[in-house]
Chains A and B, each alone.
Chain A
């Protein structure tokens, strides 16, 4: 971070110019591959932009390296499953109390262990704390395992999980943020205040564990069986309803568009509007915060931790604060992504896509710059999608001089991995030659 945050002297036209280029790329995509695909890229790009805004708070404002964005994203995605889907009939009555008591017992055991640790000394302490934790663990498993078996036995082909509360989907978005914030607090509390890269390693670990939980706890989210049919947020319609509405079909025909295509476009546009509103609210909030004394303090800490500490600022506390806030934004994006997809597929969480690609977005856009994160989020996502499309073409061209055979097959097959190489090289080139990114922090 050091040495990359001098006031910028870049032209004020830089931002509009880059966004115009981005818009032009998307328009070309629309004219060549259809608007449906453009809106698909744009919607996922906007979600990536929200993730990038969260990571930018941590890396850009505070220089904290979160190597576990995927975990907070996945945890946020749990909220729509638990809040907005319909409850599984009988599941909560059968296993709910057991699971709740099990978690209560686990929390009590941990609190008791902490108290024991604080109040005793020497070998008594070690013995007491270990005994409490082991007893607590077995009590937890004794209560938890039968409850899980009962829940997973209920209609296992379609449900087998607790189900949700049936509340509005929009409500699940902030709850996703809260879930991620809670996990971030636990991780930050232990790993912050030590060496700067310990946080990176701890977050790398928590991300793997959170995704492992989502993959394996069937009572919670059906694990790798996936949860389908997660309700859409309030104003977004369903294609099937639009297609069966006479007024909509008539309107589409008046515009000269096929009603089926019109319905998918309408749904995507509705999501787009929601996402843009969320992004604008986030940027408005963060820009206000950055201009406030709090924002100046954060930048002071980032630029020189030692002098900020000497001025009486509690660096670790502030780092924890910004780490939790940034993770909450990532969790929000996770919940939004699940509502967009309409399904929870825990096996699809991949660290390269959901942790490290987001870092590339932040750095390409410009560390510390909110609009940069939005630009980087959409642009890098566009490149990621297109590198997947172009890779085989380029490789087909490069392999054309070779005779048909195993070598050519191998080259053609490996084209799918082109995007990894492209992203790595983009990250290295930007870090080396333009560390402040496309839209530098003002």
Chain B
């Protein structure tokens, strides 16, 4: 019985939250890795793009709510999401036209583009603040739980509670759907194939008649969609705060590099490696330990690392990968 209780506690506090968080990181890392492989720079503005996209979604959600339109049991934000994606993608395309295109034309070094993305980051950060402010915002509505603690107790009779929030289920389902769609697009459609060709060898791709402007346009649209979805899911699951999204940049980059930057499968793998390490190392294992070893009464929380240091986990994994396997777990590209 205690073993089952231990498993339930583990599922409740580690496996479910880490899966949801990992899916959000994976979507973020997919955006970073896509920009990296097609446009060939690390996009420091990605965190703030996620924040801006989520801010737009929140505003539209509020609009729907004031009109009395809801999705019933599902959060209204899901209905607002497509509109948010369109606006964010349009903003990214505008940014590309006014800012990035020039550097592509003069074939600037990647590190210059990174610096340019810092400028874009400032602007997007300011736009997000203008739009929605700096406060913490909760915008999830609809049914809160798929399984609440009471239902679980009635269902199983176990003393250890387990809750499954609807935002966690929505996150995982949406993320899987988006990933399937993305891989279908990249592997099966003509445009997707031309994007992969462009990423593998730009010169050859140009030589075989692929239109670079089209590839870049599609890349930004997909990046905008991924960023908005990742940001909205994260905001639904936790809460929206502009600065938190900037701080997500580190785990997202870590996920992309750990998996092998430029590799979409790697980005997803990396997202889950980072999320499970982060949640696992900052979880207080006291409960699980007391179930498994009944004779042992731990003094502390048996927490390996305080949650204040969760960034240290992404960073340490990043450093280990850079030392031992700079191309990432799945072989990424090094430009």
Cβ-defined contact, A201 with B42, below 8 A = yes
Does B334 interact with chain A (Cβ within 8 Å)? Answer: yes
Q: How far is the CA of A63 from the CA of B110 in the complex (A)?
A: 11
Interfacial residues of chain B within 300-331, with CB under 8 A of chain A in the complex:
300, 304, 306, 308-309, 311-312, 314-315, 318-319, 322-323, 326
- Shortest Cβ distance from A193 into chain B, in angstroms? 9
Chain B residues 274-310 with CB under 8 Å of chain A are: 300, 304, 306, 308-309
Residues of B within 8 A of A195 (CB): 110, 326, 334-335
- Chain B positions 92-118 with a Cβ under 8 Å from a chain A Cβ: 99, 102, 106, 108-112, 114-116, 118
Q: With A197-B41, A204-B250, A205-B250 known to touch, is A1 a contact of B111 (CB < 8 Å)?
A: yes
Closest 5 CB pairs of A and B: A424-B122, A420-B126, A421-B126, A424-B123, A205-B315
Q: How many residues of B contact A (CB 8 A)?
A: 51
- Which residue of chain B lies nearest to A435 when distances are taken between CB atoms in the complex? B112
Are A414 and B114 in contact, with the CB atoms below 8 A?
no
1/0 per residue, CB under 8 A from A, across B172-216: the answer is: 000000000000000000000000000000000000000000000
- A188: shortest Cβ distance to chain B, in Å? 12
Establish whether residues B323 and A352, one from each chain, have CB atoms under 8 Å apart when the complex forms: no
Q: How far is the CB of B292 from chain A (nearest CB, A)?
A: 18
The verdict on A279 contacting chain B, using a C-beta distance below 8 Å, is no
B203 CB to closest chain A CB (Å) equals 19
| B contact set with A: CB distance below 8 Å | 41-42, 44, 99, 102, 106, 108-112, 114-116, 118-127, 129-130, 133-134, 246-247, 249-250, 253-254, 257, 300, 304, 306, 308-309, 311-312, 314-315, 318-319, 322-323, 326, 334-335
* Chain B nearest CB, measured from A218 CB (Å): 12
Instruction: State which of A25-33, A176-184, A209-217 sits at the interface with chain B.
Output: A209-217
Is B112 touching A431 in the complex (CB atoms < 8 A)? yes
Asked if A359 and B314 sit within 8 Å, CB to CB, the answer is no
**Nearest CB on B from A404, distance (A):** 19
Q: In the bound complex, do residue A63 and residue B311 qualify as a contact, i.e. CB atoms below 8 Å apart?
A: no
- Number of A-B residue pairs with CB-CB distance less than 8 Å in the complex they form: 138
Q: Are B126 and A351 in contact (CB under 8 A)?
A: no
CB distance from A58 to the nearest CB of B (A): 11
Tell me the count of chain A residues lying within 8 A, CB to CB, of chain B: 46
Instruction: Say what secondary structure dominates the interface of chain A.
Output: helix
Chain A, 410-438, contact with B by CB distance < 8 Å: what is the 0/1 string? Answer: 00011001101101110110011000000
Q: How far is the CA of A201 from the CA of B43 in the complex (A)?
A: 10
A428 touches B111 (CB 8 A): no
Contact yes or no, B129 A202, CB < 8 A: no
Write out the residue numbers on chain B whose beta carbons fall within 8 Å of the beta carbon of A209: 309, 311-312, 315
A1-37 CB mask vs B (1 if < 8 Å, else 0) is: 1110000000000000000000000000000000000
Contact: B111 with A197, CB < 8 Å?
yes
Quick check: B319 and A423 within 8 Å, CB to CB?
Answer: no
Check A310 for interface membership: any CB of B closer than 8 A: no
A239: interface (CB < 8 Å): no
Q: A208-B311, A351-B246, A352-B125 are in contact. Are A424 and B120 (CB under 8 A)?
A: yes
